[in-house]
């Protein structure tokens, strides 16, 4: 199995069996994001306690890249601080834009999306969940 096949496998698996799928009834932060160029729609709800993400769920509809990326993201961020997650998001954006860096350890399964850099239209799909999460952080900052 080539690395590309493995990455395709990871993406399809998360698309077909999304992790942390649903809506948290009383989140401390939430946001909804759209990617008009593809029709992706993602809602992210988060519980943050003392600066640490203790729970996150996502729901929505869209292409396999957008939904799988949000699923992978939820796995990565539970138990991390908001600041750590912002750093991870920045690294993910760099990776899908094709920086060529090695993010394996920090980004876990999210490295499966590095091939997206070859398809600029799909970069917005892969980053939608992360951008929506960051919008949720921002909306909470304003309160």
The 40-49 sheet, strands edge to edge: 29-35, 40-49, 52-61
Take residue 42 and report the two structure tokens written for it: 């993602």
Least Å distance between CB 120 and Zn ion?
A: 12
Output phi, psi for 18, to 5 deg.
-65, 140
Q: Which is nearer to Zn ion, 66 or 127 (CB)?
A: 66
Considering only 40, 41, 109, 134, the residue that binds Zn ion (CB under 5 A) is 40
Pairing of strands 29-35, 40-49: antiparallel
The torsion defined by the Cα of 63, 66, 72 and 75, in degrees rounded to 10, comes to -110
Q: Which is nearer to Zn ion, 56 or 128 (CB)?
A: 128
How many CB atoms neighbour CB 27 within 10 A?
19
Least Å distance between CB 61 and Zn ion?
A: 10
Site for Zn ion contains 127 (CB under 5 A): no
Instruction: Choose the stretch contacting Zn ion; rule: CB under 5 A; options: 25-33, 38-46, 98-106, 133-141.
Output: 38-46
Among 123, 130, 43, residue whose Cα is nearest residue 85: 130
Site for Zn ion contains 34 (CB under 5 A): no
Least Å distance between CB 62 and Zn ion?
A: 5
Which 58-117 residues touch Zn ion, going by CB under 5 A? 63, 66
Least Å distance between CB 3 and Zn ion?
A: 22
Q: Quote the Cα angle for 102-105-110, to 5°.
A: 80
Least Å distance between CB 128 and Zn ion?
A: 7
Residues forming the site for Zn ion (CB under 5 A)? 38, 40, 63, 66, 125
């Amino acid at each position: 199995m080539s690395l590309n096949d493995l990455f395709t496998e990871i993406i399809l698996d998360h698309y077909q069996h999304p992790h942390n799928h649903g809506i948290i009834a009383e989140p401390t932060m939430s946001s909804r994001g759209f990617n008009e160029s593809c029709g992706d729609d993602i809602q992210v709800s988060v519980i943050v306690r003392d600066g640490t993400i203790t729970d996150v769920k996502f729901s929505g509809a869209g292409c396999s890249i957008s939904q799988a990326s949000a699923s992978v993201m939820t796995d990565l961020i539970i138990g991390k601080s908001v600041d750590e997650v912002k750093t991870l998001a920045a690294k993910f954006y760099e990776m899908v834009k094709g920086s060529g860096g090695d993010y394996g350890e920090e980004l876990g399964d999210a490295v499966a999306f590095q091939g997206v850099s070859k398809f600029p239209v799909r970069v917005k799909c892969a980053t939608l969940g992360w951008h929506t999460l960051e919008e949720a952080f921002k909306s909470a900052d304003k309160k």
